[in-house]
Amino acid sequence: MTDRALTWDSTIGGGATAATQPTRESRIAEIEAGLRLIHPDGGVIEIRALDVPSGGGQWRSTRSGYYDDYGRAASACHALDQMEAGGVYMTLNPVVPGLLARAANKVVSRPQHTTGNAEIVRRQWLFVDIDPHRPSGIAATDEEMETATTLAADVEDLLRPYGFGTPLSGLSGNGALLLYRIDLPNDEATTQLISRCYRGINNLLPGVDLDRPHSTIDLVVGNAARLVRVPHTTNRKGDPTEDRPHRRAMLNPPDPDYPVEVVPLDAIIAVAEHADDHERREPSRKKTQAAAKSRPNGKASSGIRLDVARYLDARGVEHTAKETGDGVMYRVQCPFDGAHGGNGESAVYQADSGLLTYECKHASCQDRTWPDYRDAIGKPEPTHYDGITRQSTAATSQEPEREPIKWDVMTCAELIARKIELRYLVEGVLVAGQPCIIAGSKKTLKTTILLDMALAIATGGYVLGRWRVPTPEMVGVMTGESGLYTVRETALRIADAAHIDATTVDRLVITDSVPRFGHPDHDDALRDLIESRQLRVLFVDPTYLAIDGSDAGNLFAMGAQLRGPSEICQAAGCTLVLVHHTRKNIADPYGQPELEHIAWAGFSEFARQWILLNRREAYQPGTGTHRLWMSVGGSAGHGSLHGLDIEEGVAPDRYWHVDVVPAGDIYETRTTARDRDKAEREQQRHEADRQLVCNVLAKHPDGMTTKDIRSHARLSTDRANMAIASLLDDDMILACDVHKSNRKTPYQGYRLAD
């Protein structure tokens, strides 16, 4: 991807000598030019400065003014910058003209009113804000800035095939920015479209190595009244140091050969369609609220609820509570960055259902979730929960007297002397007597693989044609999602592949009903099914139909629901296998599955053994070909990672064929393919660079310097030099002298060969 040559000489002083130091007038002229770049059609804008020193530096304040005279606006911006304001900003979009009356072409201190989202006339820019990952409150290093400018170039390259033209590009002082011209109304639909566009860009970008310097796109800068730094004013974050200097914001004027044009609406929509490719966060507040509204009583059905105020008080966290109509919002200080939270942008939300989420609106905290917040301040104690449903004293007094609880206690010596054998139901995969989870994302064939396992255990065969079943056992399958037609068709395909006559299999019982865990009638029916059929393995698919997910984020509530069926199965000598899904917000959607990828609280803690599935590559509809990961492990010490290459054809000629591939072979193949693809991409990029250089030289037949070629072609130094050297070797360009008016001695340059 392209390495854009953004302006780097933006540190205070910029290397200028006394003879070349810009004058006040030249600075104001630069600022005015920047204002007009962003607002080429004029109109009223707000200028707002934050952290302006006042009272001899004893305190700081905000200053604001509205301008339709951009010359006077530029003078005000320069004056505020000279006062060492923390930052001088402008509205990205034109404001309602009537707001000029708030402070007409002048700045006021501590303004009572500033621009709101409803006071924007129209949306004219799509603002891509790119910030290096670093501690808050400090300036960026040159290396961190390099990651931002590189990512900006990558975003520009990424968006171009979708129909995005040339943006305005520049530096914010501590990061990079791209401004794409748009022409959309200021309404909620536009705001949502821009937000989805940001998420689409983020999902289209490749992953980053979090252990190395990197930059990210800010996903929460799409509001209509968004402010941006005024070009040629200073970004003052923290104190300047040698490696973290204060820099001026810069905005590159557009190249006449590449004008900034309005991005077509269909191009924005095309990128926004990638917003849901893979979610990067826990269930959002909106999902939480929707779940709460779907329950008339607004209570968590488990009866267990965290008293958030009591919990925060116990942890010494200052907070303010506000009713939201479908829950309570507790404004708190962000535990991950002390600078976040002063304006209510960091909060814990508790829906009426009791479900909890955490949100900090700053880009550096965008991936923080309720479990992260809870772990940061300390997990709740049992005393922080209330509402545990108990029977009244009167009702209890009518119950028959219960036998006292007794536990089987033994000494260490007795434990060592006791003969306890580990028995595998499936060698190396499934241990008897320990609850198991089969978990995977969508299209990972969870139900099909469980049917393969069930048939193998019931007949004493081989699971997926690889793992041996030592002894046939009675197996039950309760599956409520696929339907009996699909289950029957799948079972016949698997049996045929294993050379089994399915009509003779009597150790496997199947129902399309799924129990409701925690309901007394269902518990009794489950117990009766296991005992009457003498089941030794029971599959329940999918688990979300068997449990109440209203408290999916509550470890205590989910643990209580999972404990019941597990105890029923253990008492009957039956191994429980639950089939569940993994989270959507996994960083690598085709990577090796991990235990922490299992969705909902309590499941990873509940599982004593697991079979985790994930796709190795995207499914191509109509092929019937699946490339999966399969990770097996458990507390008994067994564990392995494999690839599954599955072919099942398409209807009506479906079949079942599985190859188990060593993980090492997959990684080796991936490395070879990756190196080959990288070489091909580099060659294609090099050919494109050569063409860019030729196109630029064609417009300048008298020749150009290397610097001018690099600037007009928008290539990095290394890529421009490589393209020029290659073209010289092929005699497509020639070295020449380039004459410029500012110098008598000609420059070394290049031109196209005749």
Helix (H, G, I), strand (E, B) or coil at 393: helix
Bridge partners for 348 per DSSP = 330, 358
pLDDT at 279 over 60: no
pLDDT at 371 over 80: no
**Percentage, residues of the chain above pLDDT 70:** 89
Q: Yes or no: say if 500 and 490 are a contact pair by the CB < 8 Å rule.
A: no
pLDDT at 534: 93
pLDDT at 18: 42
pLDDT at 282: 34
**Cα 323 to Cα 345: distance, rounded to the nearest angstrom:** 16
Helix (H, G, I), strand (E, B) or coil at 179: strand
pLDDT band at 284 (very low <50, low <70, confident <90, very high): very low
Structure token digits, residue 565:
């069926």
Does residue 652 have a cis bond before it (omega within 30 degrees)? Answer: yes
pLDDT at 285 over 70: no
Q: What is the pLDDT of residues 182-224, one digit of tens each?
A: 999 999 989 999 999 999 998 888 777 777 888 999 988 999 9
Q: What is the pLDDT of residues 219-260, one digit of tens each?
A: 889 999 999 999 999 999 889 999 999 999 999 988 887 889
pLDDT band at 112 (very low <50, low <70, confident <90, very high): confident
pLDDT band at 494 (very low <50, low <70, confident <90, very high): very high
Domain with CATH 3.40.50.300 in the chain: 424-613
Task: Give the architecture-level CATH label for domain 424-613.
Answer: 3-Layer(aba) Sandwich (3.40)
DSSP per-residue codes, 234-292: EE--S---SSS--EE-EEPPPPTTS---PPPHHHHHHHHTTTTSS--SSSPHHHHHHHH
pLDDT at 161: 84
> Cα–Cα–Cα angle for 284, 287, 289, nearest 5°?
110
Helix (H, G, I), strand (E, B) or coil at 456: helix
pLDDT at 304: 53
**At a CB cut-off of 8 Å and minimum separation 6, what does 295 contact?**
301, 352, 353, 550
Q: What is the mean pLDDT of residues 493-519?
A: 93
**Cα 470 to Cα 457: distance, rounded to the nearest angstrom:** 9
Structure token digits, residue 512:
């399309």
pLDDT at 175 over 70: yes
**At a CB cut-off of 8 Å and minimum separation 6, what does 167 contact?**
128, 156, 178, 179, 180, 181, 260
Highest-pLDDT range among 326-330, 471-475, 741-745: 471-475
pLDDT at 105: 96
pLDDT at 575: 96
Buried b (16+ CB within 10 A) or exposed e, 550-583: bbbbbbbbbebbbebbbebbeebebbbbbbbbbb
Q: What is the mean pLDDT of residues 561-579?
A: 92
**Cα 358 to Cα 345: distance, rounded to the nearest angstrom:** 11
Q: What is the pLDDT of residues 308-358, one digit of tens each?
A: 888 888 888 888 888 877 788 888 888 888 777 666 778 888 877 667 788
Q: What is the mean pLDDT of residues 638-665?
A: 93
CB atoms within 10 A of CB 465: 15
Q: What is the pLDDT of residues 552-561, one digit of tens each?
A: 677 777 888 8
pLDDT at 283: 35
**Cα 52 to Cα 43: distance, rounded to the nearest angstrom:** 26
pLDDT band at 604 (very low <50, low <70, confident <90, very high): confident
Give me the amino acid identity at 653.
D
**At a CB cut-off of 8 Å and minimum separation 6, what does 696 contact?**
704, 709, 712, 713
Helices marked H in 337-411 — which ranges?
A: 370-377, 393-397
Helix (H) or strand (E) holding 497: helix 484-497
**Cα 656 to Cα 321: distance, rounded to the nearest angstrom:** 57
pLDDT band at 530 (very low <50, low <70, confident <90, very high): very high
Q: What is the mean pLDDT of residues 625-648?
A: 94
Q: Which of 157-166, 401-410, 583-592, 720-729 has the lowest mean pLDDT?
A: 401-410
Q: What is the mean pLDDT of residues 639-645?
A: 94
pLDDT at 632: 96
Beta strands in 133-186 (DSSP E): 168-171, 176-185
**Cα 727 to Cα 372: distance, rounded to the nearest angstrom:** 54
pLDDT at 128: 96
Torsion of CA 324, 326, 330, 334, to 10 degrees: -100
Note the CATH number of domain 24-272: 3.90.920
Q: What is the pLDDT of residues 376-407, one digit of tens each?
A: 888 777 677 664 333 333 333 344 455 677 77
DSSP state of 140: P
pLDDT at 661: 93
Residue 604's alpha-carbon distances to 438, 558, 581, in angstroms, are 11, 11, 12
Torsion of CA 28, 31, 32, 36, to 10 degrees: 170
**Cα 479 to Cα 474: distance, rounded to the nearest angstrom:** 16
pLDDT at 586 over 80: yes
**Percentage, residues of the chain above pLDDT 90:** 53
Domain with CATH 3.90.920 in the chain: 24-272
Among residues 543, 536, 578, the alpha carbon closest in space to that of 438 is found at: 578
Counting every residue, how long is the chain?
Answer: 754
Q: Yes or no: say if 349 and 288 are a contact pair by the CB < 8 Å rule.
A: yes
Structure token digits, residue 158:
């990424």
Q: What is the mean pLDDT of residues 48-77?
A: 88
**Cα 268 to Cα 165: distance, rounded to the nearest angstrom:** 11
Domain with CATH 1.10.10.10 in the chain: 679-752
Q: Yes or no: say if 245 and 140 are a contact pair by the CB < 8 Å rule.
A: no
Mean pLDDT across the chain, nearest whole number? 85
Three-state SS sequence of 699-726: CCCCCEEHHHHHHHHCCCHHHHHHHHHH
Three-state SS sequence of 627-684: EEEEEEEECCCCEEEEEEEEECCCCCCCCCEEEEEEHHHHHHHHHHHHHHHHHHHHHH
pTM, two decimals, is: 0.43
pLDDT band at 56 (very low <50, low <70, confident <90, very high): low
**At a CB cut-off of 8 Å and minimum separation 6, what does 248 contact?**
10, 11, 12, 14, 173, 232, 233, 234, 235
**What helix, strand, coil percent values describe the chain, rounded to 5?**
35, 25, 40
pLDDT at 386: 60
pLDDT at 135 over 70: yes
pLDDT at 403: 62
Q: What is the CATH class of 679-752? A: mainly alpha
Structure token digits, residue 545:
């139909």
pLDDT at 280 over 50: no
Report the chain's C-alpha Rg in angstroms. 32
